[in-house]
Structure 1
């Protein structure tokens, strides 16, 4: 299925609200500036988005608050050493809408809150379709020393494919796409990192940058058999013995 072009994440500055008349009183705190990094015309599901609230008052900023489009506070935080507040998001459809922020100075009974910033509108574009992941050979269980291939297949219509990524319970692998829309990553089952649940994804070049797809279906490499169980038992025994020695040493000293 081709990537949908109907929904996108685009930052649209909105005029500052004039609902708070105190913002115009002499000595009142000026509204902060709300910006977004990285500043792309559009974003895709899963991408990291940082909303940055910046204030430049005469005094010290104690903290920041961020609000959703309903005016509900979603985050309250202390200011960083640079007197900024940062809200880190992962782009997804449930987080679409308008965001704004404010800040406060002083403490306890001397606290003064600024007017809210202008708002930014966040909307999300669908990530490239997920690949499919399979095992070759696809066995119920694998013994120590067996080989298995993780076969990641991107949709046939995928263009500008740059890279494949594999995610395991204890390992992550990146591989440059060599040819076609299929990549086989070969595993020799020798360690715990070589078994467990795996998924994969691929990276394509869209809108002038690398964009990662949705993650594939999961597959599970089950490492059993007499030799595998014996290795785990030996490893567990060594761990127990070392832990016991450590505890005795701590007690003695």
Structure 2
């Protein structure tokens, strides 16, 4: 009795990019990360094993994947802009988008020490987060990014350049 031995996936150049074998299920998946390099056409095929021989199926019809660039990085600024902040100071992190504000759904702020906060937004050109400085642990490089609706789905922008917050007690 013949049984499925596995699946092969191919890129548009015809190179095998993935092999699922041994594999006996009737469907197999290939997971791709969306990058410019992953755009293109893909095909797949399966093979059965009969008396130790591999018998390939015909290739599938090609499936095309298009990848668009992420929305442009926003610009992050500080208000007030100071060389040094003290515990108890409040500084506004202002994230300004280049996208149409109607498309922006969420803004995320990050710091290089692991801080992250997400804020839902509606129809504004920039959005700010009030950072209340507690101590030197708040020192670091801060950045922001946003989710914009593209082709009906939320897509994360590139991340802004970092701005430094320097806290001294």
TM-score by length of 2: 0.73
**Equivalent residues in 2 for 1:237-252, closer than 5 Å:** none
Matched residue, 2:116: 172
Contact kept, 8 Å, 2:94 with 2:128, in 1: the verdict is: yes
Q: Is there any run of 5+ residues in structure 1 with no aligned partner, and where?
A: 1-26, 28-57, 228-253
Distance in structure 2 (CA, Å) of the matches to 1:108 and 1:152: 64
Contact conserved, 1:62 with 1:78, CA < 8 A, in 2?
Answer: yes
TM-score (norm 1): 0.53
Within the alignment, does 1:73 sit opposite 2:24 as a pair?
A: no
Q: Return closer, same or farther for 1:155/1:102 CA change in 2, 3 Å cut-off.
A: same
Unpaired segments ≥5 residues, structure 2: none
Query: Is contact 2:104-2:122 (8 Å) kept?
Result: no
**Residue pair 1:98, 1:122 contacting (<8 A) in 2 also:** yes
Q: Report 1:16-31 matches (<5 A).
A: none
> Match of 2:74?
131
Among 157, 162, 172, the alignment partner of 2:105 is 162
- Say yes or no: does 1:220 pair with 2:151: no
Q: Which has the higher helix share?
A: 1
After TM superposition, give the deviation of residue 153 of structure 1 in Å. 0.5
Q: Per-residue displacement from partner, 1:159-182 (whole Å, max 9, x unpaired)?
A: 333221223331332101155211
Specify the structure having the higher radius of gyration (Cα): 1
Aligned length: 168
Hey, what's the Cα distance between the residues in 1 that align with 2:166 and 2:124?
29
Distance in 2 (alpha carbons) for counterparts of 1:107 and 1:190: 70
In structure 2, the residue matched to 1:93 is 36
Q: Aligned pair in 2 of structure 1 residues 156, 211: CA closer, same or farther (>3 Å)?
A: closer
More displaced stretch, 106-115 vs 92-101: 106-115
RMSD: 3.5
* 1:182 match: 126
Q: Paired residue for 1:117, among 52, 60, 66? A: 60
